[in-house]
Chain A
Amino acid sequence: MRRAVIVLLQSVLLSGGAAALGLAVNALRPGGLPLVAEEPYAIYKDCPLLTKEAQAVTPEALEADLGGLVVVDARPAKEAAAGRPVGALPVPFDLLDPVDPGVVAELRARGPGRVLVVGDTEIDSGRLLAGELAEAGLQGVRYLKGGFPAWRQAGRPVEGAPQPGPDKEVVP
């Protein structure tokens, strides 16, 4: 019994001494941690899963008259600045940043089947954003297969053509 108590005491002493050593080293070393974390650690969280799929529409199947439709541009603002569907509403898709509820409400107010999402082909942002909108409760959301390149190729109207930068101007 006495032996067990001594072992226990030694164990506490060992751990306590080592912990004190750790505190001392941490205080002395450059880049030591603050004793209490100043801000929360950026811990890994799962990406939100998109479970809903919106309906895809090919450029050929898309009706010629898009009057009454809202075209939503899912591409990043930088790409949209270099050319976008005429009158498109910019809603850049971001997996980690849900669409502003105000925008969702605005789109919902247009009624079912009135939203066409045009994205890019690289990350398929059109499909993803359309899925997110469908998930948010929008009815009959569609996205253009092939995204903005397909839109342009089909001869649909484009605005905001790229402006030549000053460094590209040729001085005679």
Chain B
Amino acid sequence: MNARVRTWLVALALPLRVYLGAVFLWAAVYKIADPHAFGLSIATYDILPLSLVNLLAICLPWVEAVVGLTLIAGLWTRASALAVTGMMIMFMAALGQALAKDLQLSCGCFASAEAGDEISAGTMLRDALWLLGALYVLAAGGGRLSLDGLLARGRRRVAPGLDAAGGAG
């Protein structure tokens, strides 16, 4: 690929990953603040057995928060984007299943039980767009303006020619 085009495509990943990171961080904050409400949201989807609901309610928000932070910072960018991709696929599967069953529920994505937060085809479309964004970042990597890029440059200075996989990409 033309080096210039490539540079531009990678540069475009920066605002995208900051946005996605902020979305995930924002989504995680309320879930961490009120794990019981999030547990209730998960239970309402009626997919997981009761024994797993709390475990997911405890762990998932922290995965969202950590991955949100690493995406914004551009640390392990591709790995973070991969985690986001996995989560988006998971969320969309849960949503699709709930929509198919015609469950009337708040999506539990952000501050739960807020009016107008009911799941719909629109929620699905929004998630699909975020999934595309995550895939883009996964493909593009961190670029120069990221901790990954910074670390890679540092490594190159120390040992030229040894660019680790987690690097700028």
Q: Is the CB of A43 within 8 A of B76?
A: no
| Interface 1/0 per residue, B32-72 and A, CB below 8 Å | 10011001100110100011011101111111011100100
Select A18's contact among B35, B44, B59, beta carbons within 8 Å.
Answer: B59
Residue A40 lies at the interface, judged by CB distance under 8 Å to chain B: yes
Residue A32 lies at the interface, judged by CB distance under 8 Å to chain B: yes
Q: Assuming the A-B contacts A11-B79, A14-B76, A22-B59, are A37 and B165 also in contact, with contact meaning beta carbons closer than 8 angstroms in the complex?
A: no
Which residue of B has the minimal Cβ distance to A41? B43
Chain A, 1-59, CB within 8 A of any chain B CB? 2-3, 6-11, 13-15, 17-19, 21-23, 25-26, 32-37, 40-44, 46
Quote the shortest CB–CB distance from A6 to chain B (angstroms): 4
Residue B82 lies at the interface, judged by CB distance under 8 Å to chain A: yes
The size of the chain B interface, using a CB distance under 8 A, is 36
Q: Is the CB of A43 within 8 A of B43?
A: yes
Q: Is the CB of A7 within 8 A of B46?
A: no
Which residue of A has the minimal Cβ distance to B113? A44
Q: Assuming the A-B contacts A2-B165, A18-B67, are A32 and B53 also in contact, with contact meaning beta carbons closer than 8 angstroms in the complex?
A: no
Quote the shortest CB–CB distance from A119 to chain B (angstroms): 28
Q: Is the CB of A40 within 8 A of B43?
A: yes
Additional A-B contacts beyond A8-B82, A35-B55 (6; CB < 8 A): A7-B78, A14-B66, A19-B59, A22-B63, A37-B51, A37-B54
20 contacts between A and B (CB under 8 A): A8-B82, A11-B79, A11-B80, A11-B82, A14-B80, A14-B83, A15-B67, A15-B83, A17-B66, A18-B62, A19-B60, A25-B32, A26-B35, A32-B35, A33-B58, A37-B39, A37-B43, A42-B40, A43-B40, A44-B105
